[in-house]
Amino acid sequence: MSGDFTKRDVLKWIEVIYRPGNQQIQDITLNWPEYKKTFIDRIAENLYNDIQRTKHLFSSPYTFKKKFSKLTETEKSSWYDFALDIPKKLRLLNLYIRPYKDFCRTCLIPYYDLETLARADYHNYCQKQKSVPDTKGKKEQVHDSFRDLPDEKKRFYIELNHLVPVALKKAGYEIIRPEEMTEISEKMVMKFARAIHSKYLREIKKRDTGSKKSSYLSWVHNPGDAQDINLSDFDDLPEDIKHSNLDNAYQIPAKLLAIGYKLRQTGKGFKPAVLHLSEDEIETMARVEHIRWCWDKILHGWIYGKVKDERRKTHPAIIPYEDLSESEKEKDRELVRLVPALLQDVDYDVFHVNPEKISKLPYAIKPLSSIRRILDETKKMNAHIRSLVSLSPDVEEMVEARNRKLEEALKEIESSYDYALHIQESFLPDNLYIRECFPDSFILFKPKDIVSGDFYFFSRLNHHMVFGAADCTGHGIPGALLSTIGYGILDEAVNVLKLTDPSEILKHLYLKMHKFLKMETEKKGISDDMDIALCSLNTRKHILTFSGIGNPLYHVSGGKLDEYRPGNLKKKPDESDGNEYISDSINLKNGDSIYLFSDGYADQFGGSDHKKYQTGRLKSFILSIQDNPMPEQGDRLYEEIEKWREVKNEEQTDDILVIGIRI
């Protein structure tokens, strides 16, 4: 079987290597037989050998009585198939690999993502079994649904995916997540690692003077470490202990990203503000810390076991966070509560990060929708009522029954919203494509209620970049329905009809939109459609053509901001399609910045007087952040509007969309 692999099978791995250089791509392409040994042969053997240790945990369709080298080619084929599927799995979870040098970092892969991969493996196994001819009438019966499998059979596929990072580590590669990497610098990590060790030494002194033992010690101290070695200065620590501190340090920014914060160094003469964590934020960070701890154990050869055994490397806490006892969860929470003090030790501050940056993080805290807020407020109100009056058992049961029905109804509505979000995310351009079009850019996209009536569009046609920001009437499900229609027509105009002139695209967009919504029929039609700012950049001539309805464009050049107001009005449905839309042409220079947006940002209520943010304030703020790279501008804009909103804890007024592009 190993001889049947092709060059194409090996080159699939290039797609999941993080930022591969031209030399690395060329090396893999020319020497693919050698890389086949690394990526397929070696990983398949590692998976087989490692899962032999865990065979007491599951029931498997495979036997593990022989060494891998003694297996027949047919028996090896399943393990080669597992190895071949790894690039596809990594792409599914938006993960990448890269060679590691000194030590292998842990990657934060939640348990439910492992279940997703396990489900795919089982599906592949079922398909393979169905294709095998039944020659002796003893063909194995397989369930069509992974969910219907007994737990001990599910466990095999879950453990198999637990071992993928371990097999990659043995092959010399670590798994990383791009969203985490962009927020980490080596200088920051080293400062955190030194601060972690310094705090460890302080906790040791407290313990030796009779103070209460701190859970911080168990966080930093690995089982089996010699205490006197740990008392060394950071530079003199053994490599494994130093690496443990570094791994903890690497994941602090990830924990903060999980609750929507990014780190920055405090300016000279300023002290970092104290970070106050809410209970929800502590719980989210504690969950991330447990994921980190589990993967750290797994990468160092530990597996689940009913009792902790340092010789056999088994531990009962290598389980999902939700399955931990409250006392074990509290250990993770205690460690999280130490993070604000660590930030002050290293003079780092936090600020709100653009929600688009963490939308793909599976472990990040999700903003509460209005539906979820209603449910939480109802629960709090019921608890408050119970604290004021004593209810009879009959009334208590009636209240509980009503609450259950309300919760079920709201969960059903929320699940509909979640699926609508899945649909909307499937057609919106992904961040990688946008960065390919405009390397120095950002998208600040924050729906008011899970799905959005705002949408953004990017497409590349030869030397033309067509992009825009649209604001459909309403938000939530109604707005999202209109955005789906609008995006589809816009995509047809650009990618099917090959239109690149914004005025021609708008003409096609509104004509089709009005016909689709039957706006020419007074009784049946609806009057809702959209505002839009649409641009086409000629990359050869550096000429930007802008046409809009309702939404303006800001152009910043040489420290001056010019506003281009939309020169078009919405056409009445009964007007002929002979109406022309007008556009503006703008000559751009290197370093110029372009901003498109919906009205959600400027219309956000906040401040001490409950007023809208207003476009004048937005213009001033945009000019004040021109020295920052575009991704950081997106973060600063989000931080600014959150501060404005939080003065009196205002709810988000509307969907928010801001696009920033530097030429």
Question: What does the pLDDT read at residue 223?
Answer: 39
The domain spans of the chain are 2-133+140-176, 187-273+301-358, 370-419, 428-662
Least confident span in 417-421, 488-492, 519-523, 656-660: 519-523
Q: Is the confidence at residue 510, as pLDDT, over 70? A: yes
Q: Is 641 exposed, middle or buried (0-12, 13-18, 19+ CB in 10 A)?
A: buried
What's the residue count for the chain?
663
Phi first, then psi, for residue 96 (nearest 5°) are -135, 170
Give the Cα separation of 640 and 644 in Å (integer): 6
Least confident span in 116-125, 362-371, 499-508, 548-557: 362-371
Mean pLDDT confidence for 33-56: 91
Q: Are 560 and 570 in contact (CB under 8 A)?
A: no
Residues in Cβ contact with 213 at an 8 Å cutoff, skipping those fewer than 6 apart: 207
Facing residues of 532 across strands?
470, 550
What ranges in 462-593 are assigned the alpha helix state H? 476-491, 502-516
DSSP codes, 230-299: HTS-GGGS-HHHHHHHHHHHHHHHHHHHHTTEEEEEPPTT-PPPPPPPPHHHHHHHHHHHHHHHHHHHHH
Question: What does the pLDDT read at residue 422?
Answer: 79
pLDDT band at 268 (very low <50, low <70, confident <90, very high): low
pLDDT band at 218 (very low <50, low <70, confident <90, very high): low
Give the Cα separation of 60 and 70 in Å (integer): 19
DSSP secondary structure code for residue 193 in this structure: H
Give the Cα separation of 395 and 391 in Å (integer): 6
What is the model's pTM?
0.70
Question: What does the pLDDT read at residue 351?
Answer: 82
Mean pLDDT confidence for 545-552: 92
Tell me if 2-133+140-176 shares its fold with 187-273+301-358: yes
Mean pLDDT confidence for 290-297: 92
Facing residues of 459 across strands?
466
More confident residue, 81 or 450: 81
Cα of first residue to Cα of last residue in the chain, in angstroms, is 51
Q: Are 366 and 296 in contact (CB under 8 A)?
A: no
Least confident span in 285-299, 484-498, 522-536, 626-640: 522-536
Q: Is the confidence at residue 270, as pLDDT, over 60? A: yes
Q: What is the CATH topology of the domain spanning 2-133+140-176?
A: Globin-like (1.10.490)
Question: What does the pLDDT read at residue 224?
Answer: 40
More confident residue, 370 or 582: 582
**Three-state SS across 63-104?**
CCCCCHHHCCHHHHHHHHHHHHHHHHHHHHCCCEEEECCCCC
Q: What is the mean pLDDT of the chain?
A: 83
Q: What percent of the chain has pLDDT over 70?
A: 86
DSSP secondary structure code for residue 225 in this structure: -
Mean pLDDT confidence for 44-70: 90
pLDDT in tens, 589-602: 999 999 999 999 99
Q: Are 309 and 224 in contact (CB under 8 A)?
A: no
Question: What does the pLDDT read at residue 269?
Answer: 63
Give the Cα separation of 600 and 597 in Å (integer): 8
Mean pLDDT confidence for 476-500: 90
CA distances to 242, 261, 352, 355, 603 from 642, rounded to whole Å, are 38, 12, 8, 11, 13
**Three-state SS across 132-159?**
CCCCCCCCCCCCCCHHHCCHHHHHHHHH
Least confident span in 25-34, 453-462, 474-483: 474-483
Rg (CA), the chain: 28
Give the Cα separation of 636 and 621 in Å (integer): 9
pLDDT band at 222 (very low <50, low <70, confident <90, very high): very low
More confident residue, 329 or 574: 329
Question: What does the pLDDT read at residue 521?
Answer: 54
Least confident span in 27-31, 271-275, 285-289, 305-309: 271-275
Query: What is 187-273+301-358's CATH number, 1.20.120, 1.10.287, 1.10.720, 1.10.490?
Result: 1.10.490
Q: Are 529 and 513 in contact (CB under 8 A)?
A: yes
Q: How many CB atoms lie within 10 A of CB 106?
A: 24
Least Cα distance to 102 among 189, 231, 4, 9 occurs for 189
Report CA torsion sign: 525, 527, 528, 531.
positive
Q: Is the confidence at residue 404, as pLDDT, over 70? A: yes
Q: How many CB atoms lie within 10 A of CB 312?
A: 13
Q: Is 104 exposed, middle or buried (0-12, 13-18, 19+ CB in 10 A)?
A: buried
Mean pLDDT confidence for 374-390: 71
Question: What does the pLDDT read at residue 568?
Answer: 67
Least Cα distance to 122 among 114, 132, 110 occurs for 114
pLDDT band at 528 (very low <50, low <70, confident <90, very high): low
Please give the single-letter amino acid code of residue 450. I
pLDDT band at 261 (very low <50, low <70, confident <90, very high): confident
Question: What does the pLDDT read at residue 161?
Answer: 93
Q: What is the CATH topology of the domain spanning 428-662?
A: Phosphatase 2c; domain 1 (3.60.40)
Q: Furthest-apart CA pair in the chain: how many Å?
A: 87
Question: What does the pLDDT read at residue 230?
Answer: 53
Task: Bin 444: left if φ > 0, else alpha if -120 < ψ < 50, else beta.
Answer: beta
DSSP codes, 7-60: HHHHHGGGGGBSS--HHHHHHHHHTHHHHHIIIIIIHHHHHHHHHHTTGGG---
